[in-house]
Structure 1
Amino acid sequence: MPRAVYLLGLAIFAQGTSELMLAGLLPEISTDLKVSVPAAGLLISAFAVGMLVGAPILAVTTLRWSRRVAMLAFLAVFALTHVAGALTSSYGVLLATRVAGAFVYAGFWAVASVTAIELAGPQARAKAMSILAGGLTVATIVGLPAGTLLGQHLGWRSAFWAVAVLSALAIAGVLVTIPRGRSANVPHLRAELRSMANPQLWLAYGTTALSTGAILVIFSYLAPLLTETTGLSEAWVPVILALYGVGSLAGITISGRTADRRPFGTLTISLTGVVAAAVILALTAGTPWLAVPAIVAIGTFGFATNPAVNSRVFSVAGSAPTLAAAFNISAFNVGITVGPWLGGLALDAGAGYPSVGWIGAGLAVLAFGTIPLALRAAAQPAYERATSMTGA
């Protein structure tokens, strides 16, 4: 695997730390800004909304740009939004910086995904994406607990300063590893738009959104669940979040080895594991020795879906992957947006933190339901697919 793919994974680590760290900082932000925990949880959803909108918009806007220039611009803006977030005392301003930072983070994901796939070659799509997304899992293992510790001991703003520094280091990494000039495969907007008519892509997006929502409805409220329902002290929260990250890294690494050959088999096993672990968590959230392994299993099986859905999207998109990849980023963030929102609704209704396990299990079951539909679409003869797309 080319060195540049690993460096892009490190850049995702820098930005992914910001995406994830709020899960461990909600109590501190809630207290400091004088808002409720569900309102602080909306900062996670706001980040997802920025990514949801930013991925397709920036994919189209920068389609003819040098990928190196695009990624450097995205990283610079991302760093500045975190400086602004660290300096503000306004919930509204913090919300706006989360949206803006996520907007350019989504653009970086879309461009970096296509770059990594091109560097790795078509036979190693899932492996390249597992390395790229592995940056996010390393952020879960290292960045998330480190951000939580910083927030608990130095204030949540220190975590935002740390992300700004990490982003600057990522800029240096891109400067060193990504060559100047445009790719040999210059994308064309018309071809990219035509590729979006394929119904298999939209089935893949449905799997992405539902499977991501199943994880995030639980992940977003792990800190208060552990302290208020499981009965653990705050000191245990970073440790358990790190264990969740270790499980996530294991899941995405194993899946990266199998998803290129068996995408649907990998998805079936992964989603079954998410359903089982989420149900166990919902039933045993008050029992630490059962709840903690269930949380780790959710990370393991949940992140194992990632290489499979990414490989599926790139294989279906064919020669026009940029916009398809951008919409897959948006699909991830539909799940990231809807998951915490559904969890917030349940908590506001007084259902209690174990309810997020039931919601996660339900979303994973719906994601599982897309697999037979996708298998049927994949088996459909090419002329039938063309006929259904043209309406003839």
Structure 2
Amino acid sequence: MPIALLALTVGAFGIGTTEFVLMGLLQQVAGDLHVSIAAAGLLISGYAMGVAVGAPLLTLATRRLPRKTVLLALMAIFTLGNLACAMAPNYGWLMAARVVTALAHGTFFGVGAVVATGLVAPERRASAIAIMFTGLTAATIFGVPAGAWLGLHQGWRATFWVVSLIGVLAFAVLAMFVPHKKSAETLPALREELAVLRSPQVLLGLAMTVVGYAGVFVVFTYVQPLLNRLTGLSDGAVSAVLLLFGGGMAVGNLLGGRLADRGVMRAAIWTLAALALVLASLKFAIGHVVPAVVFFGVLGVASFATVAPLQMRVLDKASDAGQNLASSLNIAAFNLGNAVGAWVGGVTIEHGPGLAALGWVAAALTLLGLGIALWSRALDGRPSAGQHAHPATT
């Protein structure tokens, strides 16, 4: 395995920790800043929207820079944003700091995914992406539970101070090991990059990511109140469940990469179907300790098994000139799905049937994403302008 790929994974670990850690501290942040649980949940949506907006804009703004330079600049933004989170005096400041931090997220994973695929043989591209995303799963296994534990004992601000230190470490590792290659010599024209937005299959790929993945965050954003209020687990036990969820993500991430190497579209369809089934089972699991704990472990597997197939689908359907933009757009699509899911979950809790119904709502969203995936597969045999067919990956 190229050491540069591991360096990308370290960067992904830092970003993944700051993205997910608030989910284990939602009630503490809400109490400290005197806002509701749903309002605290919007900090997840705000971060995700920052990713969704920042990914395409920063990708285009930095297109003439070497990819290593871009990655280092983004990690610097990430570190400064977390410092601002740690010092936030009120809810508005924290929201703004979360959005600034999020600007680095989408472009880092988008550019990083392209760099990762260039480090390995063509038949190992999906697995390379999965390895980079292992940083996210490691963040959920180690970073998020540890951050939640630290926040419970030392205050949630302490967690962001530590995440800032992780950002400094990630910057150093990327600087040492990611190869420095100039990309300006073969830079495509801007109109060629933007042409990816006219590809129906790329747009459908982005849509299946947004809608299909939104179901995960309808549930996962509110993991703490779900386990506290409906299952009766303590805050300390929630950290242990987050650890189990992270272990499931690690398994699902590598499984999704292997499945996508054998057939991208087939893997996307089956993993979305499995995810919808798991989400629907929340209603039956959440009232009892053992089934609820098992549920979140299985949800970790099902949720991240979708990541590599959905990312590779968009990359496969983009032209060579549009790879960077398409990759970043799909990272934005994942996070737009996060934002939609967190918002839908909050509406369900405050204005709908409540916490117990989150699984049904989540499953409905993921099934809609599955429907988009089936539509996209049906169009595979029909050539369209600007689209490259890849029969071996469908």
TM-score tier after normalising by the smaller chain length: over 0.9
Q: Which residue of 1 aligns with 2:28?
A: 28
Secondary structure of 2:320's counterpart equals coil
Alignment map for 1:277-356 (pairs within 5 Å): 277-320=278-321, 321-349=323-351, 351-356=353-358
Tell me how far apart the structure 2 counterparts of residues 260 and 23 of structure 1 sit (CA, whole Å). 32
Q: Which residue of 2 aligns with 1:374?
A: 376
CA shift, 1:283, in A, is: 2.8
Tell me how far apart the structure 1 counterparts of residues 252 and 310 of structure 2 sit (CA, whole Å). 14
Q: Which residue of 1 aligns with 2:116?
A: 116
Q: Which residue of 1 aligns with 2:236?
A: 235
Q: Which amino acid aligns with 2:198?
A: A
Q: Please tell me whether residue 69 in structure 1 is matched to residue 64 in structure 2.
A: no
CA shift, 1:240, in A, is: 0.6
Contact 2:317 2:387 in 1 (8 A): no
Alignment map for 1:125-136 (pairs within 5 Å): 125-136=125-136
The 3 A distance-change label for structure 1 pair 122 and 317 is farther
Q: Deviations over 1:157-201 (max 9, x none)?
A: 011001100000000011101233413753432221122211010
Q: How many residues align?
A: 386
Contact 2:199 2:385 in 1 (8 A): no
Q: Which runs of 5+ in 1 are unaligned?
A: 387-392
Q: Which residue of 1 aligns with 2:277?
A: 276
Q: Which amino acid aligns with 2:101?
A: G
Q: Which amino acid aligns with 1:359?
A: V
Q: Which residue of 1 aligns with 2:391?
A: none
Q: Which runs of 5+ in 2 are unaligned?
A: 389-394
Tell me how far apart the structure 1 counterparts of residues 27 and 355 of structure 2 sit (CA, whole Å). 15
Q: Which residue of 1 aligns with 2:141?
A: 141
The 3 A distance-change label for structure 1 pair 242 and 384 is closer
Q: Which residue of 2 aligns with 1:389?
A: none
Tell me how far apart the structure 2 counterparts of residues 36 and 384 of structure 1 sit (CA, whole Å). 47
Contact 2:198 2:386 in 1 (8 A): no
Secondary structure of 1:296's counterpart equals helix
TM-score (norm 1): 0.95
CA shift, 1:385, in A, is: 6.8
Q: Which residue of 2 aligns with 1:390?
A: none
| Deviating more after overlay: 45-54 vs 281-290 | 281-290
Q: Which amino acid aligns with 1:199?
A: P
Tell me how far apart the structure 2 counterparts of residues 187 and 142 of structure 1 sit (CA, whole Å). 40
CA shift, 1:317, in A, is: 1.0
Contact 1:9 1:135 in 2 (8 A): yes
Q: Please tell me whether residue 178 in structure 1 is matched to residue 175 in structure 2.
A: no
Contact 1:252 1:300 in 2 (8 A): yes
Q: Which residue of 1 aligns with 2:81?
A: 81
Q: Which amino acid aligns with 1:41?
A: G
The two structures, once aligned, show a CA RMSD in angstroms of: 1.6
Alignment map for 1:32-47 (pairs within 5 Å): 32-47=32-47
CA shift, 1:350, in A, is: 5.3
Contact 1:343 1:355 in 2 (8 A): no
Contact 1:76 1:171 in 2 (8 A): yes
| Deviating more after overlay: 56-65 vs 329-338 | 329-338
Q: Determine what percentage of the aligned residue pairs are the same residue.
A: 38
The 3 A distance-change label for structure 1 pair 219 and 383 is closer
CA shift, 1:352, in A, is: 2.3
Q: Which residue of 2 aligns with 1:363?
A: 365
TM-score (norm 2): 0.94
Tell me how far apart the structure 1 counterparts of residues 58 and 351 of structure 2 sit (CA, whole Å). 37
Tell me how far apart the structure 1 counterparts of residues 383 and 88 of structure 2 sit (CA, whole Å). 56
